[in-house]
Amino acid sequence: MRKLTDFRLLSLGITAIYLSVTATGGVTDSVSPIYGVGLPGEYRAWQMITVAHEAGKNNDIRAILGNDVAVKAFRERTRPFPDGSVIARLAYVYQSSAENDTLFPAPQSFVAGNPTNVQISVKDSKKYAHSGGWGYGQFENGIANQSQPLLNSCFACHKKLDSSKDFVFSHYSP
């Protein structure tokens, strides 16, 4: 119910921070700290921009999806991204598939396990002028992570990219 309510409010364009109560009784916000970014209701139906595997500490396999504004900009190589662009990075546990490998000539199949988190990047050049025009949020099970150091690390990393990329790592895969 909580998530449905979030989505309904988001779909009405309400972006103000409000509190909701989880099933365990804890109090969490539905939007990220610093940026106030929420989880768009329809992000899972967005078009695919590209895919990647992040080894190391994260060790995930990921899909990068985008709303229509973002996908159009990726396809047309428009930089900077226009306001209204939203990019969703969906990460899953990177796991060897024993199920597939029993049927393949050698162990070679790596698939998406349980979801780890979803990161949302929202382009609003005025609202987020101090972070290259991008606002960030990270969500676990639909709940906005409230760690300020985590959220500060988003732009701290993305700003290492040169401005011709408009602070976005992903390239569009045709």
Site residues for its own copies per CB under 8 A = 44-48, 50-56, 58, 61-63, 65, 90, 92, 94, 97, 100, 103-112, 115, 157, 160-161, 169, 171, 173-174
Instruction: Please enumerate in sequence order all residues whose Cβ is within 8 A of that of 113, keeping only pairs 6 or more positions apart, or say none.
Output: 92, 93, 94, 95
The minimum distance between CB 174 and its own copies, in angstroms, equals 6
Smaller CB separation from its own copies, 144 or 168: 168
CA distance 88 to 120: 5
Smaller CB separation from its own copies, 77 or 126: 77
What is the three-class DSSP state of 130? helix
The minimum distance between CB 115 and its own copies, in angstroms, equals 6
What stretch of H or E contains 20? strand 19-21
The minimum distance between CB 13 and its own copies, in angstroms, equals 24
CA distance 87 to 106: 36
Smaller CB separation from its own copies, 2 or 127: 2
Smaller CB separation from its own copies, 92 or 150: 92
The minimum distance between CB 161 and its own copies, in angstroms, equals 7
Please give the structure tokens belonging to residue 82: 């226009």
Q: Cα 77 to chain center, whole Å?
A: 20
